[in-house]
Amino acid sequence: MLSYTEENYLKAIYHLSNAGERPVLTNELAETMQTKPASVTDMVKKLSAKQLIDYEKYYGVKLLKQGKVEALQIIRKHRLWETFLVNKLGFTWDEVHEVAEQLEHIQSGLLIEKLDKFLEYPTVDPHGHPIPDPSGKIKEIKQVPLAEFPPFKKCTIRAVKDGSPSFLQYLSKIGIYIDASVSILDRVEFDGSLEVSIDNKKRIFISREAAQNLMVTAQA
């Protein structure tokens, strides 16, 4: 069984590698793990010895099959718990991350099975991120940043990419939420900010950075 820390490393490697596509460097891992590069080196050696990752000195690490499976289990648990916190306990979407970071490490297959059922088998979490199924399969829906969506066409907000609490609070304040219907009314040349309409009801301006962090799909 994996330790709390080992689980967190695997999860971080999964995210940083973009689901296992590219190698992850010692320094970036140190950054996201809030630790020192020397500590990372020690840990990746351990995970490598456990056949969970492929580690080559000075090059970086990559998830091996089993490491990816473990990472996806943790992500599954994290996202199911976030869904529970919002849908059942009435947390807001900016409050759930820290608590889910703890809950994701609870060891009980039965618990996750029953939680999944209780939530009626959700496929996305409150931030629009897909929830891996029990076998670790993830249903990726192709989405594009709002910033790159054509103007005047209606789209649906599907997810936030890297949603920090303050960004999420800001979105709530301006009335943007998952499944909101949005269209771009104007694009400001100077800074790339956008004027958008939300649900055909209100018009607001959002920055280019914000629009890069909002993932959308076209409407039928």
Nearer of residues 41 and 156 to DNA, judged by Cβ: 41
Return the amino acid letter for 179. Answer: D
Alpha-carbon separation of residue 146 from 81, 82, 98 (angstroms):
27, 24, 27
What is the rounded distance in angstroms from the CA atom of residue 70 to the CA atom of residue 63?
10
> Least distance in Å: CB of 116 to a copy of itself?
10
Q: Which does 91 bind (CB under 5 to 8 A by kind): DNA, a copy of itself, none?
A: a copy of itself
Q: Are 26 and 40 in contact (CB under 8 A)?
A: yes
Nearer of residues 1 and 110 to DNA, judged by Cβ: 1
Alpha-carbon separation of residue 2 from 80, 106, 108 (angstroms):
20, 12, 13
CA nearest neighbour of 77 among 131, 124, 4, 138? 131
54 binds DNA per the rule CB under 7 A: no
Question: How large is the C-alpha radius of gyration of the chain?
Answer: 19
> Least distance in Å: CB of 208 to a copy of itself?
34
Residues numbered 3 to 42 that lie near DNA (CB under 7 A) are 3-6, 25-28, 33, 35-42
> Least distance in Å: CB of 91 to a copy of itself?
7
Q: Which does 102 bind (CB under 5 to 8 A by kind): a copy of itself, DNA, none?
A: a copy of itself
Strands 181-187 and 155-160: antiparallel
Residues in contact with DNA, counted by CB under 7 A, come to a total of 26
Q: Which does 93 bind (CB under 5 to 8 A by kind): a copy of itself, DNA, none?
A: none
Residues numbered 84 to 123 that lie near a copy of itself (CB under 8 A) are 85, 88-91, 95, 98-99, 102-103, 106-108, 110-111, 114-115, 117-118
User: Helix (H, G, I), strand (E, B), or coil: what is residue 90?
Assistant: coil
Q: Which does 118 bind (CB under 5 to 8 A by kind): DNA, a copy of itself, none?
A: a copy of itself
Which are the contacts of 62, defined by CB distance < 8 A and separation ≥ 6? 17, 20, 23, 24, 53, 54
CA nearest neighbour of 146 among 100, 105, 77, 193? 193
Q: Kindly write out the interface string for residues 176-195 of this chain, putting x where it contacts a copy of itself by CB under 8 A and - elsewhere.
A: --------------------
Q: Are 98 and 165 in contact (CB under 8 A)?
A: no
Contact set with a copy of itself (CB under 8 A): 85, 88-91, 95, 98-99, 102-103, 106-108, 110-111, 114-115, 117-118
Contact set with DNA (CB under 7 A): 3-6, 25-28, 33, 35-46, 55, 57-60
